[in-house]
Structure 1
Amino acid sequence: MTDIITEQATAAASGAAATEQFRAKQRAETADVDTKRVDTLVSELLTAAHDIIRRHKVTYAEYDVLKSWLIQVGEDGEWPLFLDVWLEHVVEEVASENREGSKGTIEGPYYISDAPQLPAEAKLPMRENEEGTPLLFRGQVTNVVGTPLAGALVEIWHADNDGYYSQFAPGLPEWNLRGAVVADDQGNFRIHTIEPAPYQIPTDGSCGRLIAAAGWHAWRPAHLHLKVSAPGHQLITTQLYFKGDEHVGDDIASAVKPELILDPGPAVNADGREVTYDFVLDKA
């Protein structure tokens, strides 16, 4: 199975799926556009680009390479990947700068809404004999003064032991390692899953060509994705990483924060490891 997925999981296929998911999300949402705000942001972005061209005396040959690359990013469907890897962490930083509760970080391009709803103690959907170290991820959801948030929703998704996400790589069950866990009346949850693996973002498309041209690496540390919400409170979108992962300090997406690093210990009554991480939600 691993060999089949490795052979067929391409940047173009993953990018096309991420682009379609984003378009579906945008169709479901509406937003007022402030023309003055658009004017300010676009004008300053262009001014910054003009300054780079002047300071570095960009040649027509370099300009044409840039144009060709920008066109290819669109043809590869990799704009969601590019923006989420290199820009989203700053947008998230600005959006959450006044929060008192738990730290957030980027969503990334691989979120799927309406995952199967699961009880407070649950095993994520996975294949029989799913490869990877078993992990018990448990915690409690409270507000900023410590009151438990009964029935809080803990959405979780992550890559498998080979670094692939369901619905973005072939050969995986639709909801593999994805679920929406409903916390109990004390805000507690216990999620049985497997530890994800570090992975490289797709390198056979335009983003990969940029990484190679700049001499960067393409690695993301292993991580769990989460969205945690409760009525009357701000949704938190975050990722949790693992102490000791070699890429915690040089994540290509610059999304790691010290508060988001887990340090699992041996499981007490089972194989694998376990860890506790609590979420604190701000009032809406």
Structure 2
Amino acid sequence: MTTTSPTAAGSGANATQAFRAARQSSGGEVTSPERVSDVVQAVLSGVHEAIRAKKVTYPEFQAAKQWLIDLGEGGEWPLFLDVFVEHVVEEVAAETQHGTKGSILGPYYLPDQPKLPSVSTLPMRSDEKGKPLVFTGQVRDTDGNPVAGAELDLWQADDEGYYSGFAPHLPEGNLRGVVVSDGHGRFEVTTIQPAPYRIPTDGPTGGLIEAAGWHPWRPAHLHLIVRAPGHRNITTQLYFQGGRWVDDDVAQATKPELVLDPRPGDDGKLRARYDFVLEPA
């Protein structure tokens, strides 16, 4: 493993900055006071019930209070929420959605990456380690029609499990890009198979994981946001058959429908196909 591992604080700061930039560009969504009251009361009721059911003591409450303070001061709220909470929000959203299954966005998305043609190679170092992977497929609508010019915003970890923009030793934009499908909705992306990775454990989130006796691992995956005018965006992750942690993901974000089964091609490169289905907006 590299000796320049990203810290929890550094990853949290970058994730917070990216989140705020995305919120500013989208304008956010106005929530009524009635809705705020309803949701917050439900969350607090759940916390109160857990305290009663588990007979939480004052020392335990003070420890939790200190942990929340540390979490905020360490800038780790994006990390904690994306790992332990987002998968449930995504499950609720999926109840009214059709087309390709979604998954969590995670804390490592960076917007405004360069656009690439339908047949392309993700930006990478000249000596990028890892098994070469050719990822192909087609974007269609729910009626089976090809979606020309669909954008596949793709990002992934490298062969050591690190993301550009969050690990100081990686060049900017490494293994990130927006691939635009051709006139038939098809695409072919050459990249490398990513590695599983540990979420940063040197901060409060890692302290909680250690105290609870959990593991900090996420399975190897490709991140994608697939979008096209007039269609609902899909945010998803694609995993690898037989990969470690696929059945025991710390973020609980894997789904059977999102598992790839790469096979070696005649050129020795791994090849995997996945077709995306977009529903009308």
Contact 2:225 2:234 in 1 (8 A): yes
Contact 1:4 1:171 in 2 (8 A): no
Question: What is the identity, as a one-letter code, of the residue corresponding to 1:227?
Answer: I
Structure 2 residue 256 is the aligned partner of structure 1 residue 258: yes
Q: CA deviation at 1:216?
A: 0.3
Match of 1:239 in 2: 237
Q: CA deviation at 1:234?
A: 0.5
Structure 2 residue 271 is the aligned partner of structure 1 residue 280: no
CA distance in 1, matches of 2:228, 2:14: 29
Q: CA RMSD in A?
A: 1.0
CA distance in 1, matches of 2:279, 2:143: 9
Structure 2 residue 122 is the aligned partner of structure 1 residue 112: no
Match of 1:101 in 2: 99
| Partner SS, residue 237 of structure 1 | strand
Match of 1:189 in 2: 187
Match of 2:64 in 1: 66
TM-score by length of 1: 0.97
Q: CA deviation at 1:267?
A: 1.9
Contact 1:199 1:219 in 2 (8 A): yes
1:152-201 CA-to-partner distances (Å, cap 9, x unmatched) read 00110000011100001101111000000010000000000000000111
Match of 2:82 in 1: 84
Question: What is the identity, as a one-letter code, of the residue corresponding to 1:15?
Answer: G
Question: What is the identity, as a one-letter code, of the residue corresponding to 2:77?
Answer: W
Question: What is the identity, as a one-letter code, of the residue corresponding to 1:27?
Answer: Q
Match of 2:170 in 1: 172
Question: What is the identity, as a one-letter code, of the residue corresponding to 2:51?
Answer: I
Match of 2:125 in 1: 127
CA distance in 2, matches of 1:54, 1:96: 32
Residue 14 of structure 1, aligned match among 11, 16, 32: 11
Contact 2:120 2:190 in 1 (8 A): yes
Match of 1:23 in 2: 20
CA distance in 2, matches of 1:282, 1:102: 9
Count residues in correspondence: 280
Question: What is the identity, as a one-letter code, of the residue corresponding to 2:31?
Answer: V
| Partner SS, residue 5 of structure 1 | coil
Structure 1: 5+ residue stretches without partners: none
Structure 2: 5+ residue stretches without partners: none
CA distance in 1, matches of 2:8, 2:126: 27
Q: CA deviation at 1:32?
A: 1.2
CA distance in 1, matches of 2:240, 2:74: 31
Residue 35 of structure 2, aligned match among 34, 37, 40: 37
Q: CA deviation at 1:21?
A: 1.1
CA distance in 1, matches of 2:253, 2:16: 21
CA distance in 2, matches of 1:218, 1:71: 21
Match of 1:145 in 2: 143
1:69-99 CA-to-partner distances (Å, cap 9, x unmatched) read 0011111111011111111111111112122
Structure 2 residue 41 is the aligned partner of structure 1 residue 5: no
Percent identity at matched positions? 56
Which moved further from structure 2: 21-30 or 224-233?
21-30
Question: What is the identity, as a one-letter code, of the residue corresponding to 1:195?
Answer: Q
| Partner SS, residue 146 of structure 2 | coil
